Amino acid sequence: MNGRTLDADDLARGVAHLDDETILRMLHDRYDEKAIYSSVNRMLIAINPYEDLGLYSAAMLETYAALGGESAPPPHAYAVASAAFKGLLAGGSQSIVITGESGAGKTETAKRMMQFLAHMAGAHVGERAGAEAHGAALDAKSPAALHHHLLRTNALMEAWGNARTTMNDNSSRFGKFLSVQYDSSAKLLGAQINTYLLEKTRVVQRGAGECSFHIFYMLLLGLPPSEAGQLELMPDVQSFRYARLVDADIDPAGRDGEGWAEQLAEVRGVLTDTIGIPAADVWSTLSLLAAVLHCGNIDFAVPAKGGTSAAAALHTGAMRPLKALARLLGVDAAELCDALTTRVIRAGAEWVTKPNTTAEACGLADALAKALYARLFDRIVASINGAVGLARPGAPTGGGLAHSFIGILDIFGFEHFGTNSLEQLLINYTNEQLQSLFNGIGMRRRGAPPAAGRRRGLARAPRASTRLTRALCSPLPFVLPFPSPPLPRRSLLGRPG
């Protein structure tokens, strides 16, 4: 251990050779002692214990909230948020990067940091510390109340953006950058959420042992029977292709110890009470989610003459989901059927209707479902930003060094499946680029040349060739070996005029 002891929180101090083996051995020994947090200079390493160790009590929160202490507290997610807040007070914007494999605890860590910042928003401006965490009455326009609203919106982001995977029961299937904006006196002004790379393909297909987004199971298993009847839903996930479980032994119920009905009630409460969306619009949102589910149940059959080029036709039992989809979308069922099974192309000066094959029709239905869900997700994010952003009604205005921010980047989980899609390639590549960007910024701020790590004995892991990946994703000119598909000549539900 190079003379190190378990109570040494910063693994980089007093080590003759800081290599992978040394770090892993020290982390293992500390984990055995229930010390899940360790530091390497300004980097915090957290190991998910998959149990409650009592690290997030009110007393612990107060310990890290004390500003100006001479002795640094042990490594903790609160310590990182505290350092960011101190940097903000010193007059500079701060950014926190949360990265790791799926299931490492990134989502929970981000929530703990927001909990600390919410506490500081109340304590620093003289409001009753921690009131927002206990539901006490707060001024609706106060910084603490705004942070409380931000914490509540986590329920929406997890419902629409998280899903169960083989590695994590609550895996974020999108990337998120949260910018919490303050004025020169560290008074909270507003917040902005930017998202990227929503895993839209999860709506229509999943791997073995995985589930779709949580909101679908809330809708199917949490709606009261009277409301489910209006949306033509039944409490059976196996009856809907987009929610169907690939592995019959997996039960999506009971996430976080709560029933789906309670989680759906929380989501609806946040939409109406926190975001301010009228109840009628919330019902329209649920109706669009039901429309996506019905879209997955539209089956297309190949006519009797067979062949892959045969024109697509609706399966005998597909009229019910088609009519339900058309009703929920407010369109004519016959026109919707025509839009899915035919396309219009131009031949000279005339427009000609050509039938789609079964594969093309199925692809159109899946594309419609993904587009509907992605637009709905974007609308939810926009509504959150409208409720907590600088442009919200009654938002305070800051002076002096206004609009400094604390940014929290919750990077999409690194994953490697048996079969990796192009989407997963882009996710991992984006994560690598973001991580490299922040690593470079950190090195420049410390003023250490890249070779310093090697002089200290820091081993560099061998890397596989990434020439093809970089060629595909590089902004430099690159010619693909196949032509791009032509753009559609009409929208899905409309003909050219």
Give dist(CA 425, CA 194) in Å, integer.
Answer: 21
> Which structure tokens are listed for 268?
């609806």
Model confidence pLDDT, tens digit, residues 8-61: 567 766 666 667 788 888 888 888 988 999 888 778 889 988 888 889 988 888
**Catalytic status, residue 491:** no
Per annotation, catalytic residue among 95, 99, 102, 342: 102
Per annotation, catalytic residue among 39, 82, 142, 171: 171
Q: Which of 58-67, 157-166, 391-400, 410-419 has the lowest mean pLDDT?
A: 391-400
Cα 449 to the chain's mean position, in Å? 34
Cβ 146 vs Cβ 180: under 8 Å: no
| Residue 310 DSSP label | S
Model confidence pLDDT, tens digit, residues 79-132: 999 989 988 888 788 989 888 887 788 888 988 998 898 888 765 544 443 444
Cα–Cα distances (Å) from 384 to 88, 156, 484, in that order, read 24, 9, 36
Give dist(CA 56, CA 87) in Å, integer.
Answer: 23
Predicted confidence (pLDDT) at residue 486 exceeds the cutoff of 80: no
Please name the amino acid found at residue 236.
D
**Catalytic status, residue 413:** yes
Per annotation, catalytic residue among 127, 132, 210, 415: 415
Give dist(CA 89, CA 68) in Å, integer.
Answer: 11
Per annotation, catalytic residue among 39, 107, 212, 383: 107
**Catalytic status, residue 93:** no
Per annotation, catalytic residue among 175, 190, 222, 413: 413
Buried b / exposed e along 10-45 (16+ C-beta atoms within 10 A): ebbeebeebeeebbeebbeebeeeebbbbbbeeebb
Predicted confidence (pLDDT) at residue 465 exceeds the cutoff of 90: no
Cβ 267 vs Cβ 159: under 8 Å: yes
Bridge partner residues of 196 (DSSP): 175
Average pLDDT for 216-228: 94
94-98 vs 300-301, strand pairing mode: unpaired
**Catalytic status, residue 107:** yes
Cβ 409 vs Cβ 177: under 8 Å: yes
**Catalytic status, residue 415:** yes
**Catalytic status, residue 404:** no
Per annotation, catalytic residue among 162, 168, 341, 385: 168
> Which structure tokens are listed for 265?
């009630």
Q: Which of 100, 204, 107, 197 is nearest to 151 (CA)?
A: 107
| Residue 203 DSSP label | G
Per annotation, catalytic residue among 39, 172, 383, 404: 172
| Residue 315 DSSP label | -
**Catalytic status, residue 122:** no
350-355 vs 342-347, strand pairing mode: antiparallel
Per annotation, catalytic residue among 22, 38, 39, 103: 103
> Which structure tokens are listed for 112?
């703990």
**Catalytic status, residue 102:** yes
